[in-house]
Amino acid sequence: MLGIELPPFLIFYLGALIALVGGATWRGPALIVVVVVSALNLWQLPSGFGLETQLMGMALKPIHIDRLSLLFGYLFHIAALISVIYSLHVKDRTQQVAAMLYAGSALGAVFAGDLLTLFIFWEMLAVTSVFLIWARRTDTAYSAGMRYLIIQVISGLLLLVGIILYFQESGSLMFTEIGLDSIASWFMFLAFGIKCAFPFFHNWLTDAYPEATPTGTVFLSAFTTKVAVYAMARSFPGTEMLIYIGATMACFPIFFAVIENDLRRVLAYSLVNQLGFMMVGIGIGTELGINGAVAHAFNDVIFKGLLFMSMGAVLYRTGRINGSELGGLYKSMPKTAILCIVGAASISAFPLFSGFVSKSMIMSAALKEHFNIVWLLLLFASAGVFHHAGIKIPYFAFFAHDSGIRCKEAPWNMLLAMSIAAALCLAIGIFPQLLYQHLPFPTDYSAYDVSHILTQTQLLFFSALAFVWLNLKGMYPPELPSTNLDFDWMYRRPVPRLINACGRLVNSVDLAVRGRIISLGNALEQRLAALNGSDGVFSRTISISSMVAWMVTLLALVLIFRLI
């Protein structure tokens, strides 16, 4: 026990300072110590711990701990520990400092008890995380990072507007259930939705995450979207619109993931798909639905992190990540292949793996509240997940064909991090009460009943059968070098062209107006020159007697008007 009570984010910020000034050889181990000390500090904080203060007459609560925030706090410490171990071989000071600030900002956001504190850490998440993308130091990464940062800042601005309007309406800044019943709440809902990767706002994720460094992507997959899920669960539980948004998110990425060649981009689409399940659970809003969404967020960080780590190891060792260029790597990287399969089984919700014990909660909640069509869509999405993440990722990276690539196995620290994540996937899958006992609401839910097991087993069996049949018939989409158009095409092509066309129109109008003003000025100048010329009116000589006559006349008129 530390004997002192510190804000959970503070130790991570101190870790960033250590990474900034420390030597390259011991920075990594020091950051592991930082994460462990921070976890012990969180463990000892009493239930209901909080800090309250006043700022310019506004009541603020920078720290607030309850069951919901505490579970996310534990999750972020687990994710940070695994990610730091995974990146021990990295000596890049920029990545290490940014990673610690990023993880600390995520903790600051989930433990924020007021909206102003949330906004500060919300923006810190954006500013610190973008350096994990730029750290790859390629032109593509720089461009993707700029687009990512713009979208994140827009989310922050929407949140700020919503907070200001909410304070004007309610006079409170407390971060509690808000509900979708005012203009202020709509601004905040949209701000959270952008970071949750709502449809049409999801491309920042699929664009930027695959361009980050192999280790940076692991950090990115753990924090930003899960902070948004937490914010949505706290402020908008039971918002029915989220059910249909979530069902859409669960389904549409499947079609992009199946045809995508970049395997890290496949996982980025898969992340959107899993966020959809969480949105459905939050939208249902019952205790079972919220528990399912939070449990699935917890599991997703671990199994999706495991998959990103396995693909990061492949990229690190081979320099390639396209499915069309890989294959046969089980010969060179057998341990990575096995650990990747564990992650694939978890995300596919195989019984005895973590995804099964959380995804079934959400689907049970949908059936219990009679959202039967949504349940069918989630069932379809589950089959799609098995295809693009459960089968495609390990199959095309390690088994599809022999690419001839021979490389070393992943570094020991990468294997250790992946092994910890794989062990957690199995432990939670086999002993779900390890997770259930920490959920926001007490639950006696049992994932391992006959209906759940049979339904999921049949789904996985027939999905696998469909994959084999499509492959044998040559109908499964092949891995080809390609660029797949998504909604980001709108702001990459038509929108810039429209802006350029508007700019040209404004420029032409400006030139026309300027030309007209100049021509009128020239005409006026010529007229004045004519009036002042040798024959002009203003240059004529008037006799003194005429001037006197005019003055007398004016004086007479003045006297007449005065006398009237």
Residue 406 lies in a domain: yes
How much of the chain, in percent, has pLDDT values that exceed 90?
A: 63
Q: Do 25 and 147 sit in the same domain of this protein? A: yes
Q: Do 266 and 179 sit in the same domain of this protein? A: no
CA separation for the pair 64, 42 (Å, rounded): 12
Q: Do 210 and 241 sit in the same domain of this protein? A: no
Band of residue 345 on the pLDDT scale cut at 50, 70, 90: very high
For 556, half-sphere exposure in the C-beta direction (CA atoms, 13 angstrom radius) is 6
- Which backbone phi and psi does 174 adopt, to 5 degrees? -65, 140
Please tell me the predicted confidence (pLDDT) of residue 259. 85
Using one digit for the tens of pLDDT, what is the confidence trace for 501-512?
A: 888 889 889 889
Please tell me the predicted confidence (pLDDT) of residue 45. 84
Please tell me the predicted confidence (pLDDT) of residue 78. 97
Q: Count CB atoms within 10 A of the CB of residue 465.
A: 10
Give the domain-ending residue among 437, 452, 478.
478
Q: Do 193 and 265 sit in the same domain of this protein? A: no
Please tell me the predicted confidence (pLDDT) of residue 539. 61
Distance from chain centroid for Cα 400: 32
Please tell me the predicted confidence (pLDDT) of residue 318. 93
Q: Do 376 and 450 sit in the same domain of this protein? A: yes
Q: Which of 86, 65, 146, 8 lies closest to 417 in space, CA to CA? A: 86
Q: Which residues contact 518 (CB under 8 A, 6 or more apart)?
A: none
Q: CA dihedral in degrees (130, 133, 138, 144; nearest 10)? A: -70
Q: Do 151 and 260 sit in the same domain of this protein? A: no
Q: Which residues contact 118 (CB under 8 A, 6 or more apart)?
A: 109, 112, 159, 175, 231
Using one digit for the tens of pLDDT, what is the confidence trace for 76-110?
A: 999 999 999 999 999 899 999 999 999 999 999 99
Residue 301 lies in a domain: yes
Distance from chain centroid for Cα 357: 25
Q: Do 137 and 181 sit in the same domain of this protein? A: yes
Using one digit for the tens of pLDDT, what is the confidence trace for 416-457?
A: 999 999 999 999 999 999 999 999 999 999 989 888 888 888
| Bridge partners, residue 288, by sequence | none
- Which range (21-25, 110-114, 287-291) has the least confidence? 21-25
Using one digit for the tens of pLDDT, what is the confidence trace for 284-337?
A: 999 999 999 999 999 999 999 999 999 999 999 999 998 888 888 999 999 999
Q: Do 250 and 224 sit in the same domain of this protein? A: no
Residue 495 lies in a domain: no
Structural domain including 322 reads 237-478
CA separation for the pair 88, 81 (Å, rounded): 11
Using one digit for the tens of pLDDT, what is the confidence trace for 238-277?
A: 999 999 999 999 999 998 888 888 999 999 999 999 999 9
Band of residue 1 on the pLDDT scale cut at 50, 70, 90: very low
Please tell me the predicted confidence (pLDDT) of residue 268. 94
Using one digit for the tens of pLDDT, what is the confidence trace for 509-526?
A: 988 998 888 888 888 878
Q: Do 48 and 136 sit in the same domain of this protein? A: yes
Give the domain-ending residue among 421, 450, 478.
478
Q: Do 264 and 357 sit in the same domain of this protein? A: yes
**Count of structural domains within the chain:** 2
Residue 323 lies in a domain: yes
Q: Do 379 and 295 sit in the same domain of this protein? A: yes
Q: What ranges in 431-493 are assigned the alpha helix state H?
A: 433-436, 450-472, 488-492
Q: Do 261 and 132 sit in the same domain of this protein? A: no
Please tell me the predicted confidence (pLDDT) of residue 130. 96
Residue 242 lies in a domain: yes
Residue 547 lies in a domain: no
Give the domain-ending residue among 179, 207, 236.
236
